[in-house]
Copies of this chain bind each other. A is one copy, B any other.
């Protein structure tokens, strides 16, 4: 049994491409339809109500494009609006990035102390904390918002003295709590992986939610017999939509993925809000 339809992936911007990268690595025969809602980016500082409205609109846009599964590659939406999106998706599987990241942390922490970093909205929502403690009520979770990390990534300043100081500013107090796992609860943060790992030291495992979300997507599609039967599909057959500035997104995306994106199209606002 196989299913040749694409996987739908959305994020408020570029960061969700780190999830696409992992999906392609695990399942080279799959294609994706990606939506980056650049025009309303970033979601991280918005109210929960607004984030839920945007998230449902993004999901509907992908569902109209005949996807077989939804991956909410945005920690903010995964944190505050996954349930209404799953309800809207009805019997189509829809996963976020929070549960997979939480499961990986619970499986790995020996000290039962986990750190989580993300945007203000992700931390405020407490979704990682709730997810981890539902899996193991013994685990203590230390969450910290790191809002300067995203602009540092977007400015290409990942390997600078400023990035190292900002990382120390945010992370030293987390290290002092005695955590042995740190979950990257924002899809931009994997691009700062080296700086973050160097700051917290080798004793702390840094876990990238994007990697674990891609693994969960793979398992679900395998379980329901909905993997593609193509030997290779990948980026060349995939579609990328953004709500603003397709050319600039294409450039940044190529840098992030290490290869050219086939075509980046503009998604009309009217359709998104429809």
Which residues of A are interface residues toward B (Cβ below 8 A)? Answer: 38-41, 45-47, 50, 147-148, 151-152, 154-155, 157, 160-162, 165-166, 169, 244-245
CB-based contact B47/A244 at 8 Å: yes
**Complex partner residue of A155 from B38, B39, B147, B161, CB under 8 angstroms:** B147
Q: Select from chain B the residue with minimum beta-carbon distance to A53.
A: B269
CB-based contact A152/B162 at 8 Å: no
Contacts A39-B50, A47-B245; A155 near B148 (Cβ below 8 A): yes
CB-based contact B155/A162 at 8 Å: no
Measured CB to CB, the closest approach of chain B to A203, in angstroms, equals 25
**Residue of A39, A45, A161, A245 with highest tally of chain B CB at under 10 A:** A45
Q: Which residues of B contact A245 (CB under 8 A)?
A: 46-47
How many identical chains are in the complex? 2
Contacts A40-B40, A161-B165, A166-B162; A50 near B151 (Cβ below 8 A): no
CB-based contact A148/B151 at 8 Å: yes
| A166, B38: Cα distance in complex, Å | 26
Q: Which residues of B contact A38 (CB under 8 A)?
A: 46
| A38, B166: Cα distance in complex, Å | 26
Contacts A162-B165, A162-B166; A46 near B244 (Cβ below 8 A): yes
**Complex partner residue of A162 from B39, B46, B169, CB under 8 angstroms:** B169
CB-based contact A152/B161 at 8 Å: no
**Residue of A47, A160, A169 with highest tally of chain B CB at under 10 A:** A47
| A166, B148: Cα distance in complex, Å | 12
Measured CB to CB, the closest approach of chain B to A189, in angstroms, equals 15
Known: A39-B40, A162-B165, A162-B166. 9 other contacts (CB 8 A): A41-B45, A46-B244, A46-B245, A147-B155, A148-B148, A148-B151, A148-B152, A161-B165, A165-B165
| A92, B147: Cα distance in complex, Å | 40
Q: Select from chain B the residue with minimum beta-carbon distance to A273.
A: B273
| A245, B51: Cα distance in complex, Å | 12
Going nearest first, the 9 A-B pairs with the smallest beta carbon separation are A47-B245, A50-B244, A151-B151, A162-B165, A47-B244, A148-B151, A46-B244, A39-B50, A147-B151
| A148, B165: Cα distance in complex, Å | 14
CB-based contact A46/B39 at 8 Å: yes
Q: Which residues of B contact A40 (CB under 8 A)?
A: 39-40
Q: Which residues of B contact A151 (CB under 8 A)?
A: 147-148, 151
